[in-house]
Structure 1
Amino acid sequence: MDPAAAFELVLLLQQFGQASDRYVESTGTRHKTHRTDMNALAVIMRFERAGNPPTPGDLSRTLQLSSPATSAMLDRLERVGHIERLRIDKDRRVVRIKMTPKAQADGRAMFAPLAARMMEVISTYTDEEVKLVSRFMADAAAGVDRARNDAEHP
Protein backbone atom coordinates (compact mmCIF):
# COMPACT_ATOMS: atom_id res chain seq x y z
CA MET A 1 0.00 0.00 0.00
CA ASP A 2 1.23 3.47 -0.91
CA PRO A 3 1.07 5.55 2.33
CA ALA A 4 0.75 8.82 0.40
CA ALA A 5 -2.20 7.49 -1.61
CA ALA A 6 -3.82 6.13 1.56
CA PHE A 7 -3.42 9.51 3.28
CA GLU A 8 -4.92 11.24 0.23
CA LEU A 9 -7.91 8.88 0.45
CA VAL A 10 -8.42 9.77 4.12
CA LEU A 11 -8.39 13.47 3.16
CA LEU A 12 -10.94 12.79 0.42
CA LEU A 13 -13.17 11.00 2.92
CA GLN A 14 -12.94 14.03 5.19
CA GLN A 15 -13.91 16.28 2.28
CA PHE A 16 -16.86 14.02 1.46
CA GLY A 17 -18.01 14.13 5.09
CA GLN A 18 -17.73 17.91 5.16
CA ALA A 19 -19.59 18.26 1.85
CA SER A 20 -22.35 16.01 3.20
CA ASP A 21 -22.53 18.11 6.36
CA ARG A 22 -22.86 21.28 4.28
CA TYR A 23 -25.70 19.74 2.29
CA VAL A 24 -27.54 18.65 5.45
CA GLU A 25 -27.03 22.08 7.05
CA SER A 26 -28.28 24.03 4.04
CA THR A 27 -31.21 21.68 3.42
CA GLY A 28 -32.12 21.67 7.10
CA THR A 29 -32.01 25.47 7.23
CA ARG A 30 -34.30 25.76 4.19
CA HIS A 31 -36.76 23.27 5.67
CA LYS A 32 -36.38 24.52 9.27
CA THR A 33 -35.20 21.13 10.46
CA HIS A 34 -32.51 20.45 13.06
CA ARG A 35 -29.55 18.28 12.06
CA THR A 36 -30.28 15.94 14.97
CA ASP A 37 -33.87 15.58 13.78
CA MET A 38 -32.70 14.68 10.27
CA ASN A 39 -30.23 12.16 11.69
CA ALA A 40 -33.02 10.67 13.82
CA LEU A 41 -35.28 10.26 10.80
CA ALA A 42 -32.48 8.47 8.95
CA VAL A 43 -32.04 6.10 11.91
CA ILE A 44 -35.80 5.51 12.19
CA MET A 45 -35.91 4.73 8.47
CA ARG A 46 -33.03 2.24 8.83
CA PHE A 47 -34.78 0.47 11.75
CA GLU A 48 -38.08 0.40 9.85
CA ARG A 49 -36.39 -1.08 6.76
CA ALA A 50 -35.10 -3.85 9.03
CA GLY A 51 -38.71 -4.47 10.13
CA ASN A 52 -38.37 -3.19 13.69
CA PRO A 53 -39.33 0.42 14.44
CA PRO A 54 -36.99 1.85 17.11
CA THR A 55 -37.79 2.68 20.69
CA PRO A 56 -36.74 6.03 22.18
CA GLY A 57 -33.90 4.09 23.87
CA ASP A 58 -32.72 2.74 20.52
CA LEU A 59 -32.58 6.30 19.16
CA SER A 60 -30.83 7.59 22.26
CA ARG A 61 -28.11 4.93 21.98
CA THR A 62 -27.69 5.21 18.22
CA LEU A 63 -27.57 9.02 18.17
CA GLN A 64 -25.68 9.20 21.47
CA LEU A 65 -28.23 11.54 23.04
CA SER A 66 -29.33 11.78 26.64
CA SER A 67 -32.87 10.72 27.50
CA PRO A 68 -34.01 14.35 27.92
CA ALA A 69 -32.44 15.36 24.58
CA THR A 70 -34.09 12.37 22.89
CA SER A 71 -37.47 13.29 24.37
CA ALA A 72 -37.11 16.91 23.22
CA MET A 73 -36.16 15.76 19.73
CA LEU A 74 -39.10 13.35 19.54
CA ASP A 75 -41.43 16.11 20.74
CA ARG A 76 -40.19 18.37 17.91
CA LEU A 77 -40.58 15.61 15.31
CA GLU A 78 -44.08 14.81 16.56
CA ARG A 79 -45.12 18.49 16.54
CA VAL A 80 -44.18 18.87 12.86
CA GLY A 81 -45.93 15.61 11.98
CA HIS A 82 -42.83 13.56 11.14
CA ILE A 83 -43.25 10.75 13.67
CA GLU A 84 -45.84 8.80 15.60
CA ARG A 85 -45.26 7.15 18.95
CA LEU A 86 -47.03 3.81 18.94
CA ARG A 87 -47.59 1.00 21.40
CA ILE A 88 -47.58 -1.93 19.00
CA ASP A 89 -45.74 -4.58 21.01
CA LYS A 90 -47.43 -7.19 23.19
CA ASP A 91 -45.91 -5.28 26.10
CA ARG A 92 -47.97 -2.10 25.75
CA ARG A 93 -45.43 -0.18 27.84
CA VAL A 94 -42.96 -0.27 24.93
CA VAL A 95 -43.16 2.80 22.69
CA ARG A 96 -42.06 2.46 19.06
CA ILE A 97 -41.29 5.39 16.78
CA LYS A 98 -42.59 5.34 13.21
CA MET A 99 -42.13 7.85 10.43
CA THR A 100 -45.26 9.39 8.97
CA PRO A 101 -46.04 9.77 5.27
CA LYS A 102 -45.37 13.52 5.77
CA ALA A 103 -41.82 12.75 6.96
CA GLN A 104 -41.26 10.51 3.96
CA ALA A 105 -42.53 13.20 1.55
CA ASP A 106 -40.47 15.93 3.24
CA GLY A 107 -37.41 13.65 3.20
CA ARG A 108 -37.82 13.01 -0.51
CA ALA A 109 -38.08 16.77 -1.13
CA MET A 110 -34.92 17.39 0.89
CA PHE A 111 -32.79 14.52 -0.37
CA ALA A 112 -34.01 13.70 -3.89
CA PRO A 113 -31.59 16.24 -5.42
CA LEU A 114 -28.67 14.69 -3.52
CA ALA A 115 -29.75 11.16 -4.44
CA ALA A 116 -30.01 12.15 -8.10
CA ARG A 117 -26.49 13.60 -8.11
CA MET A 118 -25.09 10.59 -6.29
CA MET A 119 -26.74 8.25 -8.81
CA GLU A 120 -25.15 10.28 -11.62
CA VAL A 121 -21.75 9.74 -10.02
CA ILE A 122 -22.33 6.05 -9.29
CA SER A 123 -23.55 5.40 -12.84
CA THR A 124 -20.04 6.16 -14.14
CA TYR A 125 -18.65 3.06 -12.37
CA THR A 126 -18.85 -0.59 -13.33
CA ASP A 127 -20.81 -3.04 -11.18
CA GLU A 128 -17.53 -4.45 -9.85
CA GLU A 129 -16.27 -0.98 -8.93
CA VAL A 130 -19.55 -0.18 -7.16
CA LYS A 131 -19.24 -3.41 -5.16
CA LEU A 132 -15.67 -2.54 -4.19
CA VAL A 133 -16.52 1.03 -3.20
CA SER A 134 -19.57 -0.21 -1.28
CA ARG A 135 -17.42 -2.68 0.64
CA PHE A 136 -14.88 0.06 1.35
CA MET A 137 -17.54 2.51 2.59
CA ALA A 138 -19.07 -0.12 4.90
CA ASP A 139 -15.61 -0.97 6.25
CA ALA A 140 -14.75 2.74 6.62
CA ALA A 141 -17.96 3.43 8.56
CA ALA A 142 -17.20 0.47 10.84
CA GLY A 143 -13.66 1.81 11.29
CA VAL A 144 -15.00 5.20 12.36
CA ASP A 145 -17.30 3.50 14.87
CA ARG A 146 -14.38 1.48 16.26
CA ALA A 147 -12.26 4.65 16.56
CA ARG A 148 -15.12 6.40 18.41
CA ASN A 149 -15.41 3.44 20.77
CA ASP A 150 -11.63 3.45 21.34
CA ALA A 151 -11.73 7.19 22.11
CA GLU A 152 -14.61 6.73 24.55
CA HIS A 153 -12.99 3.76 26.30
CA PRO A 154 -9.22 4.30 26.24
Structure 2
Amino acid sequence: MTARKPPEGGRDELVRLVQTFVAEGQRIGHAFAHRHGVHGTDIEALIRVLVAGDGGRPLTAGELAAELGLTTGAVTTLLDRLERAGHVRRERDERDRRRVNLHYGDAGLELAQQFFGPLGDLHRSVTSDFTPEELAVVRRYLSATIDAFRTYRTQLDS
Protein backbone atom coordinates (compact mmCIF):
# COMPACT_ATOMS: atom_id res chain seq x y z
CA MET A 1 0.00 0.00 0.00
CA THR A 2 1.47 3.34 -1.02
CA ALA A 3 1.10 6.43 1.07
CA ARG A 4 -1.16 9.10 -0.30
CA LYS A 5 0.80 12.09 -1.55
CA PRO A 6 -0.36 15.31 0.12
CA PRO A 7 -1.76 17.85 -2.31
CA GLU A 8 0.37 20.78 -3.30
CA GLY A 9 0.25 23.67 -0.87
CA GLY A 10 -0.77 21.68 2.23
CA ARG A 11 -4.51 21.82 1.57
CA ASP A 12 -5.17 18.75 3.74
CA GLU A 13 -3.35 20.42 6.60
CA LEU A 14 -5.56 23.50 6.18
CA VAL A 15 -8.65 21.28 6.36
CA ARG A 16 -7.38 19.72 9.59
CA LEU A 17 -6.56 23.12 11.04
CA VAL A 18 -10.04 24.43 10.22
CA GLN A 19 -11.60 21.32 11.77
CA THR A 20 -9.56 21.87 14.93
CA PHE A 21 -10.43 25.59 14.91
CA VAL A 22 -14.14 24.78 14.68
CA ALA A 23 -13.89 22.16 17.43
CA GLU A 24 -12.06 24.55 19.77
CA GLY A 25 -14.65 27.24 19.07
CA GLN A 26 -17.42 24.80 19.91
CA ARG A 27 -15.69 23.88 23.18
CA ILE A 28 -15.45 27.55 24.11
CA GLY A 29 -19.14 27.98 23.28
CA HIS A 30 -20.03 24.95 25.41
CA ALA A 31 -17.96 26.31 28.30
CA PHE A 32 -19.77 29.65 28.02
CA ALA A 33 -23.16 27.92 27.89
CA HIS A 34 -22.37 25.71 30.88
CA ARG A 35 -20.97 28.56 32.94
CA HIS A 36 -23.99 30.79 32.30
CA GLY A 37 -26.75 28.19 32.22
CA VAL A 38 -27.79 28.69 28.60
CA HIS A 39 -28.28 26.22 25.77
CA GLY A 40 -25.80 25.83 22.90
CA THR A 41 -28.45 27.06 20.46
CA ASP A 42 -28.75 30.22 22.56
CA ILE A 43 -25.02 30.82 22.10
CA GLU A 44 -25.28 30.34 18.35
CA ALA A 45 -28.23 32.74 18.23
CA LEU A 46 -26.38 35.34 20.29
CA ILE A 47 -23.31 35.12 18.07
CA ARG A 48 -25.42 35.51 14.92
CA VAL A 49 -27.28 38.51 16.39
CA LEU A 50 -23.97 40.11 17.40
CA VAL A 51 -22.24 39.52 14.06
CA ALA A 52 -25.23 40.81 12.08
CA GLY A 53 -25.45 43.90 14.26
CA ASP A 54 -21.72 44.56 13.89
CA GLY A 55 -22.21 44.20 10.13
CA GLY A 56 -24.75 47.03 10.22
CA ARG A 57 -27.80 44.96 9.29
CA PRO A 58 -29.58 43.43 12.27
CA LEU A 59 -31.36 40.10 11.88
CA THR A 60 -35.08 39.54 12.16
CA ALA A 61 -36.54 36.56 14.00
CA GLY A 62 -37.36 34.91 10.67
CA GLU A 63 -33.82 35.36 9.41
CA LEU A 64 -32.46 33.96 12.67
CA ALA A 65 -34.78 30.97 12.35
CA ALA A 66 -33.44 30.30 8.85
CA GLU A 67 -29.83 30.70 10.02
CA LEU A 68 -30.35 28.27 12.89
CA GLY A 69 -32.53 25.82 10.96
CA LEU A 70 -35.37 26.23 13.45
CA THR A 71 -39.07 26.92 13.07
CA THR A 72 -40.24 30.46 13.71
CA GLY A 73 -42.12 29.15 16.76
CA ALA A 74 -38.96 27.64 18.23
CA VAL A 75 -37.05 30.86 17.59
CA THR A 76 -39.81 32.89 19.25
CA THR A 77 -39.44 30.71 22.37
CA LEU A 78 -35.64 31.07 22.21
CA LEU A 79 -35.89 34.87 21.81
CA ASP A 80 -38.44 35.16 24.63
CA ARG A 81 -35.97 33.35 26.91
CA LEU A 82 -33.00 35.48 25.78
CA GLU A 83 -35.03 38.68 26.06
CA ARG A 84 -36.17 37.85 29.63
CA ALA A 85 -32.51 37.33 30.57
CA GLY A 86 -31.56 40.70 29.01
CA HIS A 87 -29.37 39.10 26.34
CA VAL A 88 -31.34 40.42 23.34
CA ARG A 89 -33.93 43.04 22.63
CA ARG A 90 -36.41 43.40 19.82
CA GLU A 91 -36.91 46.77 18.13
CA ARG A 92 -39.21 47.85 15.34
CA ASP A 93 -37.35 49.00 12.24
CA GLU A 94 -37.65 52.77 11.82
CA ARG A 95 -38.10 52.50 8.04
CA ASP A 96 -40.40 49.47 7.99
CA ARG A 97 -42.50 49.17 11.14
CA ARG A 98 -43.52 45.61 10.19
CA ARG A 99 -39.91 44.49 10.56
CA VAL A 100 -38.66 43.66 14.07
CA ASN A 101 -34.87 43.73 14.38
CA LEU A 102 -32.84 41.80 16.94
CA HIS A 103 -30.13 43.53 18.95
CA TYR A 104 -27.86 42.51 21.78
CA GLY A 105 -29.24 43.53 25.16
CA ASP A 106 -27.01 45.33 27.65
CA ALA A 107 -26.77 42.26 29.90
CA GLY A 108 -25.90 40.05 26.94
CA LEU A 109 -23.27 42.44 25.65
CA GLU A 110 -21.67 42.78 29.08
CA LEU A 111 -21.64 39.01 29.56
CA ALA A 112 -20.17 38.42 26.09
CA GLN A 113 -17.48 41.05 26.67
CA GLN A 114 -16.52 39.53 30.04
CA PHE A 115 -16.29 36.02 28.66
CA PHE A 116 -15.07 36.56 25.09
CA GLY A 117 -13.04 39.76 25.63
CA PRO A 118 -9.94 37.84 26.76
CA LEU A 119 -10.26 35.59 23.69
CA GLY A 120 -10.38 38.68 21.48
CA ASP A 121 -7.28 40.03 23.22
CA LEU A 122 -5.45 36.73 22.66
CA HIS A 123 -6.50 36.69 19.03
CA ARG A 124 -5.35 40.26 18.43
CA SER A 125 -2.05 39.35 20.09
CA VAL A 126 -1.41 36.34 17.84
CA THR A 127 -2.24 38.34 14.72
CA SER A 128 -0.23 41.42 15.69
CA ASP A 129 2.82 40.24 13.73
CA PHE A 130 0.84 39.67 10.53
CA THR A 131 1.32 42.24 7.79
CA PRO A 132 -1.76 43.87 6.26
CA GLU A 133 -1.14 41.76 3.16
CA GLU A 134 -1.06 38.54 5.19
CA LEU A 135 -4.24 39.54 7.01
CA ALA A 136 -5.90 40.15 3.64
CA VAL A 137 -5.03 36.59 2.56
CA VAL A 138 -6.31 35.15 5.84
CA ARG A 139 -9.52 37.21 5.51
CA ARG A 140 -10.00 35.96 1.95
CA TYR A 141 -9.37 32.36 3.01
CA LEU A 142 -11.76 32.51 5.97
CA SER A 143 -14.47 34.17 3.89
CA ALA A 144 -14.15 31.48 1.22
CA THR A 145 -14.21 28.77 3.91
CA ILE A 146 -17.35 30.24 5.48
CA ASP A 147 -18.99 30.31 2.04
CA ALA A 148 -18.03 26.65 1.51
CA PHE A 149 -19.44 25.71 4.93
CA ARG A 150 -22.70 27.54 4.16
CA THR A 151 -22.96 25.81 0.79
CA TYR A 152 -22.46 22.43 2.43
CA ARG A 153 -24.98 23.24 5.20
CA THR A 154 -27.54 24.21 2.54
CA GLN A 155 -26.92 20.90 0.77
CA LEU A 156 -27.43 19.03 4.05
CA ASP A 157 -30.67 20.93 4.72
CA SER A 158 -32.18 19.97 1.32
Using structure 1 for the length normalisation, give the TM-score.
0.87
Describe the superposition over 1:17-70 as per-residue Cα deviations: whole angstroms up to 9, x where unpaired: 101111111122112222211221222122223433322101101121112220
Q: Percent identity?
A: 31
Query: Aligned pair count?
Result: 153
Q: Distance in 1 between matches of 2:128 and 2:122?
A: 10
Q: Tell me, yes or no, if structure 1 residue 25 matches structure 2 residue 18.
A: no
| Structure 2 CA distance for partners of 1:133 and 1:43, relative to 1, 3 Å | same
| Structure 2 CA distance for partners of 1:6 and 1:53, relative to 1, 3 Å | closer
| Structure 2 alignment gaps of length 5 or more | 1-5
Q: Tell me, yes or no, if structure 1 residue 10 matches structure 2 residue 12.
A: no
Using structure 2 for the length normalisation, give the TM-score.
0.85
Q: Tell me, yes or no, if structure 1 residue 77 matches structure 2 residue 60.
A: no
- Structure 2 residue aligned with 1:58, among 39, 63, 67? 63
Q: Distance in 2 between matches of 1:116 and 1:104?
A: 16
Q: Tell me, yes or no, if structure 1 residue 146 matches structure 2 residue 151.
A: yes
| Structure 2 CA distance for partners of 1:51 and 1:123, relative to 1, 3 Å | closer
- Structure 2 residue aligned with 1:119, among 112, 124, 132? 124
Q: Tell me, yes or no, if structure 1 residue 110 matches structure 2 residue 115.
A: yes
Q: Tell me, yes or no, if structure 1 residue 97 matches structure 2 residue 99.
A: no
How large is the RMSD of aligned CA atoms in angstroms? 2.0
2:54 is aligned to: 49
SS in 2 for 1:8: helix
